[in-house]
């Protein structure tokens, strides 16, 4: 039976990949336009590039002319206020920043002003418009047009605080009336030093999500890692076109996030709820429209959530686990192994690069977790865990399970060193700690055993859980590596200290600000 909104029979949708569902809908809506004989209806969809492979969202660099067609509704630019600012590093965080924002209507000549002070915004950088159109497919939700603006700001100096304002024709951020809208960011230093970064996954739009954002801002982080499942406009996350999808949730999410992401680079990757295949065959047209991320992954036009950057003595890699997931296979294998080959090469390059002590990898689906909801993904374990061991990764951060869970040090899938609350680990000697930081704001999950965290220790020798297999089945496990478990909203704050004995101090803070876990990762010697 067809769903009232998306029109793919559920049994059929469950067997389709993202690309197959995309083609099904593209053909179906093309037939509807022909049958209705409405040139206006056809233009409203095809003109915006919906499911057509045009410049709308399938192309990360759409032309301004295509994005601001005569079809678009325009109003006086002086009446259109930007919102939803979010920063991201370019491939080199010392000299490149990506400034993104949203406007509710089409605008002309968008740009960024930037300078050394709030009254010295002397440099102007043109921005591009990425127009995303989501048509109405029934009587439940209206058609939605969203306008995302992006400016690539290059040629910056390392370790400098810059002031910026976003604007367009009729709205000048340098106008004294707009002074309150001026934001700041700081570029990465060109030599190692102390800094903090934060991380979580599975955020959504909620009071708890907003509370976590404000706590993160209080840590004064150099950047933030978001491990996917950003806003939950797609509510079920199976990568099916039958999912109820409301594009307007993105407006609320970016408005909520502005308070922190306007000054802290918000480095995101893709979760299962971020596969929105209305816009492109692999479901990432929406991501390409909304975010500007480093373009140094295996294919930035196809894998926007796969990239790397270096900040101080830390190399960071973002991955798209939808590519290898056994649990949710809608996009499994969509890169034909290119992402995994790139990961192997990039980890090797970073590990050999002078000045890099620590390697941090973040992605969505968990390699090691014990919740009753998703637990562990065997596809992630088989594809990537051997590479993490090979290159001696220091810390792996995941989301997907809406809790906080932290393992002991693991090597070869088994406990190599027990790491209690307040403990320490050396990745060269002991193995890798895996952290599930999925308590950013979405509804919480449950563990099959009691919580165990700082001030509430209930250590267990083993936990009965499961992992997903290649056949999409649950394989029952009894594991020893689940060391810390906390059912609550939380995030990671990681303090980085260089030196002869470099150190990461990983702290987990609850929504209340209470500390629920902490441990240290050191690197006593180079590999």
Q: Is the pLDDT of residue 506 over 60?
A: yes
Token pair for 31: 């037939």
Given a cut of 60, is residue 393 above it in pLDDT? yes
Burial 310-328 (b: 16+ CB within 10 A, else e): bbbbbbbbbbbbbbbbbbb
Q: In what order do the strands lie in the sheet with 161-167?
A: 123-126, 111-115, 161-167, 183-186
Report which of 241, 248, 304, 311 is spatially closest to residue 278, judged by C-alpha positions: 241
pLDDT of residue 526: 53
Structure tokens at 357: 């002590």
3-state SS assignment for residue 256 = helix
Label the pairing between strands 128-134 and 144-153: antiparallel
b/e string for 459-496 if b means 16 or more Cβ within 10 A?
Answer: eeeebebbbbeeeeeeeeeebebbbbbbbbbbbbbbbb
**Where does the pLDDT of residue 245 fall: very low under 50, low under 70, confident under 90, or very high at 90 and above?**
confident
Burial of 208-246, coded b for 16+ CB within 10 Å and e otherwise, reads bbbebbebbbebebbbbbbbbbbbbbbeebbbbbbbebb
Q: Into which CATH architecture does domain 191-228+306-522 fall?
A: 4-Layer Sandwich (3.60)
- The CATH architecture one would assign to domain 10-183 is Sandwich (2.60)
Euclidean distance between CA atoms 51 and 274, whole angstroms = 17
pLDDT tens digits, one per residue of 39-90: 222 222 222 322 223 333 334 443 333 333 335 566 899 999 999 999 999 9
Nearest partner of 98 among 234, 357, 355, 291, judged by Cα: 291
Q: How far is CA 294 from the centre of its chain?
A: 12
pLDDT, averaged across the chain: 88
DSSP 287-320: HHHH----S-SS-TTT-TT-EEEEETTEEEEE--
Structure tokens at 470: 């290649």
96-106 tens-digit pLDDT: 999 999 999 99
CA angle 312, 164, 81 (to 5 degrees): 130
Percent of the chain with pLDDT over 70: 86
Residues 6+ apart with CB under 8 A from 65: none
Domain boundaries of the chain, sorted by first residue: 10-183, 191-228+306-522
| Chain segment 447-504, per-residue pLDDT in tens | 999 999 999 999 999 999 999 999 999 999 999 999 999 999 999 999 999 999 999 9
Residue 46, Cα to own-chain centre: how many angstroms? 29
């Amino acid at each position: 039976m067809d769903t009232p909104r998306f029109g793919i029979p559920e049994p059929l949708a469950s067997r389709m990949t993202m690309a197959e569902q995309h083609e099904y809908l593209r053909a179906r809506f093309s037939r509807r336009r022909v049958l209705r004989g409405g040139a206006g209806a056809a233009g409203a969809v095809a003109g915006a590039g919906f499911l057509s492979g045009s410049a709308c969202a399938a192309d990360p660099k759409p032309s301004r002319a295509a994005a601001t067609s005569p079809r678009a509704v325009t109003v006086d630019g002086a009446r259109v206020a930007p919102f939803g600012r979010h920063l991201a590093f370019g491939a080199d965080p010392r000299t490149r920043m990506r400034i993104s924002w949203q406007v509710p209507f089409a605008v002309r000549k968008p740009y960024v002003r930037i300078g050394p002070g709030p009254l010295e915004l002397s440099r102007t950088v043109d921005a591009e418009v990425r127009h995303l159109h989501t048509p109405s497919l029934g009587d439940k939700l209206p058609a939605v047009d969203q306008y995302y603006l992006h400016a690539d700001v290059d040629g910056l100096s390392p370790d400098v605080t810059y002031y910026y304002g976003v604007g367009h024709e009729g709205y000048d951020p340098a106008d004294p009336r707009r002074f309150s809208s001026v934001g700041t960011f700081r570029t990465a230093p060109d030599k190692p030093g102390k800094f903090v970064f934060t991380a979580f996954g599975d955020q959504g739009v909620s009071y708890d999500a907003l509370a976590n954002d404000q706590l993160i801002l209080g840590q004064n982080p150099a950047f933030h890692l978001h491990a996917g499942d950003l806003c939950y406009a797609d509510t079920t996350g199976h990568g099916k076109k039958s999912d109820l999808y409301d594009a307007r949730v993105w407006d609320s999410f970016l408005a909520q996030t502005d308070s922190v992401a306007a000054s802290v680079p918000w480095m995101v990757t893709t979760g299962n709820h971020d596969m929105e295949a209305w816009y492109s065959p692999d479901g990432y047209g929406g991501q390409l429209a909304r975010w500007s991320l480093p373009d140094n992954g295996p294919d930035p036009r196809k894998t926007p959530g796969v990239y790397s950057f270096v900040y101080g003595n830390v190399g960071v890699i973002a991955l798209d686990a939808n590519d290898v997931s056994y649990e949710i296979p809608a996009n499994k294998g969509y890169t034909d192994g290119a992402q995994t080959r790139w990961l192997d090469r990039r980890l090797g390059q970073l590990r050999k690069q002078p000045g890099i002590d620590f390697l941090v990898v973040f992605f969505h689906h968990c390699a090691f977790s014990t919740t009753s909801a998703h637990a562990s993904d065997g596809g992630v374990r088989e594809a990537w865990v051997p590479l993490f061991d090979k290159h001696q990764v220091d810390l792996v951060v995941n989301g997907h399970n809406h809790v906080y869970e932290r393992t002991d040090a693991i090597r070869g899938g088994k406990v190599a060193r027990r790491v209690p609350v307040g403990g320490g680990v050396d990745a060269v000697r002991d193995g890798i700690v895996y952290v599930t930081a999925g308590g950013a704001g979405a509804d919480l999950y449950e563990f099959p055993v009691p919580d165990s965290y700082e001030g509430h220790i209930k250590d267990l020798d083993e936990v009965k859980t499961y992992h997903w297999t290649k056949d999409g089945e649950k394989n029952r496990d009894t594991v020893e590596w689940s060391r810390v478990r906390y059912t609550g909203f939380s995030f990671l704050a990681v303090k980085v200290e260089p030196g002869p004995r470099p150190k990461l101090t990983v702290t987990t803070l609850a929504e209340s600000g209470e500390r629920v876990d902490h441990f240290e990762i050191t690197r006593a010697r180079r590999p």
